[in-house]
Amino acid sequence: MDAEITVIEGDITKLKVDAIVNAANSGLLGGGGVDGAIHRAAGPALLEECRAIAGKQGGCPAGDAVITGAGKLPCKKVIHTVGPVWRGGGRGERELLASCYRKSLGLAGSAGLESIAFPNISTGVYGYPRAEAAETAFRTVSDTLPEIPGIKKVIFVCFDRENFALYRKLLEGRPGGNTRGP
Ligand code: AR6
């Protein structure tokens, strides 16, 4: 079956999907923005798991991702990925951001998960311009999905109107509407 890509406006911590993605930092021990919201809602078990991973592998570099349980969240797993800090666009930001989406999908696929929700990685504290980030996110997910047939549903969760409008536009421009073509 084809994977479905949808766009919603809302709070990612509320979603009952197989995995939600966290826009973390390389220390993996929580922070503000969506990271703070996820850790608050998940409770201390999530931080414990993150601490264990950070202790073992010394955190997580930008562009990479790790997977944990979800504590008290309604989803099954949390995939923590570290987006690039925007430094003007000439420091490999686009490739690092694309890598966040690719690696997160790869981890979800390896874990046998079928549905995954992404926040707008790097577009908050890390300052990535929203339109450019949305394009890279959307294109990377669309290009990667055919390589991971186990994933049936991807949700882009937008927390603000501007991002929601950008993603809606990208979705509408996609051949075949909101469903991946044959
Ligand atoms: N649900 C969905 N999206 C959200 C939520 C939520 N509950 N809360 C915020 N967003 P940011 P970054 C959106 O700053 O730019 C943290 O301190 C938000 O509107 O969370 O990758 C980490 O620890 C924005 O569109 O992440 C890192 O230090 C998007 O999530 C640093 O921030 C990402 O904004 C990472 O910065």
Residue 13 Cα to ligand 1 midpoint, Å, equals 12
Could you tell me the pTM of the whole model?
0.96
The H-or-E segment that residue 118 falls in is strand 115-118
Tell me which of 9, 21, 34, 163 to substitute to probe ligand 1's pocket, judged by most ligand atoms within 8 Å of the beta carbon. Answer: 34
CA 8 to chain centre: 14
Give 119 Cα–ligand 1 centroid separation in angstroms: 7
Question: In sequence order, which residues have a C-beta less than 8 Å from that of residue 88 and are 6 or more positions away?
Answer: none
Residues that are catalytic: 35
Is the CB of 73 inside a 6 Å radius of any atom of ligand 1?
A: no
Q: Residue 59: CB within 6 Å of ligand 1?
A: no
Amino acid at 34: V
One pLDDT digit (tens) per residue for the chain, 182 residues: 579 999 999 999 999 999 999 999 999 999 999 999 999 999 999 999 999 999 999 999 999 999 999 999 999 999 999 999 999 999 999 999 999 999 999 999 999 999 999 999 999 999 999 999 999 999 999 999 999 999 999 999 999 999 999 999 999 987 654 534 33
Residue-level length of the chain? 182
| Ligand 1 site, residue 115, Cβ cutoff 6 A | no
**DSSP 8-state code for residue 10:** S
CATH class of the domain comprising 4-180: alpha beta
